[in-house]
């Protein structure tokens, strides 16, 4: 009986990381992004393994202390970037939902964030019309029981004096 319980527990422990990986698959990131894009009539994104590789390097660079993660200037010159630190850890869909939630801060008419901050820029990057490729990564942080998620976008969005999408 004890042997059976141990095997079940060990099996469960081995399966949990696989379930977490499945929740952070390209399919999950794309679905969350493309649902938001469909709401404003923007074409869906395609997954780019090269962007995923860059995103993976970014999150792994900060895995020891995710709270210190901030935009990477070497990436910012080439790609759009959203990132989210979360305790407890979050899935791909939850991270993207946090960015999309800032939709209410965006005013299309003035093409700016309503509250005078930059809080809507994560949302506008998600729905940026000319962005066609996406690559994301997620890690569980070593120091805080949290996770760090980042997504890279190409071509980058949030171009000054341009709207993220057109209202028809």
pLDDT tens digits for range 43-101: 999 999 999 999 999 999 999 988 877 777 778 789 999 999 999 999 999 999 999 99
pTM of the entire structure? 0.85
- The predicted pLDDT at position 161 comes to 94
86-104 burial, b at 16+ Cβ within 10 Å, e below that, comes to: beebbbbbbbbebbbebbe
pLDDT tops 70 at residue 134:
yes
- The predicted pLDDT at position 30 comes to 98
pLDDT tens digits for range 87-121: 999 999 999 999 999 999 999 999 999 988 898 99
Q: Which tokens go with 107? A: 């005013």
Contact present, 46 and 134 (Cβ < 8 Å)? yes
pLDDT tops 80 at residue 153:
yes
């Amino acid at each position: 009986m004890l042997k059976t319980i141990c095997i079940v527990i060990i099996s469960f422990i081995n399966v949990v990381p696989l379930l977490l990986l499945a929740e952070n698959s390209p399919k999950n990131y794309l679905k969350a992004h493309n649902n938001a894009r469909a709401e404003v009539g923007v074409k869906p994104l395609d997954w780019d393994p090269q962007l995923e590789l860059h995103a993976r390097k970014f999150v792994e660079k900060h895995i020891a202390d995710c709270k210190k993660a901030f935009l990477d200037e070497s990436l910012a010159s080439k790609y759009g970037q959203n990132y989210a630190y979360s305790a407890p850890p979050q899935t791909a869909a939850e991270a993207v939902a946090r960015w999309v939630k800032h939709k209410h801060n965006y005013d299309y008419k003035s093409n700016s964030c309503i509250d005078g901050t930059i809080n809507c820029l994560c949302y506008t990057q998600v729905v940026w019309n000319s962005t066609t490729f996406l690559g994301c990564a997620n890690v569980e942080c070593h120091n805080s029981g949290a996770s760090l998620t980042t997504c890279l976008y190409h071509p980058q969005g949030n171009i000054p004096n341009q709207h993220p999408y057109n209202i028809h």
